[in-house]
Amino acid sequence: MSKAPPKTLAVVGAGAMGGQIAFQAALHGYDVHLVSRKPERLQTACTDNGELLRRRVEKGKLGAEECEAALARVQASTDLSHIGGCSVVLESVAEDREVKREVLQRISENADVDAIIGTNSSTLSSSLFEQDVRNPQRLLNVHFFNPPLVMQLVEVVRGEHTADATVEAAMRFVSDIGKTPVLVTKETYGFIANRILFIAMQEAFRLVQGGFVTVEDCDLAVRNGLGWPMGPFELADLVGLDVVEAILAEGHAQTGEDRWTPPAILSERVRRGDLGKKSGSGFRT
């Protein structure tokens, strides 16, 4: 019988996404290296996620021992050389092509050559970074949703040269950390969920920009009429207005279609530094 691979994961990038991905995997028995260049970001990720998990204990949703064991499984580090020996490495840094390129190069230099390298980008397909890694057969998108501790879906996206074994292992990994994987068999802008979500958001932006409805009423309509847990403006604040703008701009750049052009109502806020929840001000924050 073949031996199960060790449950070892590295997450590079400790923002809202990377931090929660690390703790989600730790809850499912993974030893996790959480890496960031910024020690203060690691500190925040450990503190915030510690609070989230301990709150689950208070609510009776998680055992106290299980919680403390999960917290102890996450090793925070500013040193990327520690990722050697991890069977899966997930990149979750800024949604910026050059930043991701540089980070993926450094990951590839430090990771085992047969480690799976997953990029958590929603819009930049892994094939764009093939030249940056030693083993493109082990590279693919593994795309989580915000907040990763809560949202069930993870999109696994096959790159042009991703090996079948890599796709299978990535699907298994996602299930193993308690999430539901869906496979996107060919790269396309926005994959599945974002492609649908961001068109809906664009319509919401147009309705408000055109003076047809207020931000508040638009959210109310979508919550109550469509049954979404959040309206598009609340959701944009949660995702980060800069991230929303970057996703749309990338859609426009990749497809040449005007429907993805970031609207003024969004770009003006980003220029002012109103980025949503993370900056303390946005559409609804």
Residues binding ligand CAA (CB under 6 A) = 52, 56, 59, 61, 122, 145-147, 149-151, 194, 197, 229-230, 235, 239, 243
Q: List Cα–Cα distances, 57 to 16, 50, 71, 100, 251, in angstroms.
A: 21, 11, 13, 36, 41
DSSP secondary structure, 71-137, as one string: HHHEEEES-GGGGTT-SEEEE---S-HHHHHHHHHHHHHHS-TTSEEEE--SSS-GGGGGGGSS-GG
Using a 10 angstrom Cβ sphere, with 0-12 exposed, 13-18 middle and 19 or more buried, the burial of residue 153 is: middle
Q: Which is nearer to ligand CAA, 10 or 45 (CB)?
A: 45
At residue 275, the 3 state secondary structure works out as: coil
Catalytic residue, chosen from 28, 33, 82, 143, is: 143
**Catalytic annotation on 33?**
no
Compute the least distance from the CB of residue 3 to ligand CAA, in Å: 34
Q: Which is nearer to ligand CAA, 15 or 136 (CB)?
A: 15
Distance CA 270, CA 124 (A): 21
Compute the least distance from the CB of residue 278 to ligand CAA, in Å: 11
Q: Which is nearer to ligand CAA, 101 or 228 (CB)?
A: 228
Compute the least distance from the CB of residue 264 to ligand CAA, in Å: 21
* Residue 211 DSSP one-character state: T
Q: Which is nearer to ligand CAA, 37 or 54 (CB)?
A: 54
Compute the least distance from the CB of residue 200 to ligand CAA, in Å: 11
Q: Which residues are catalytic?
A: 143
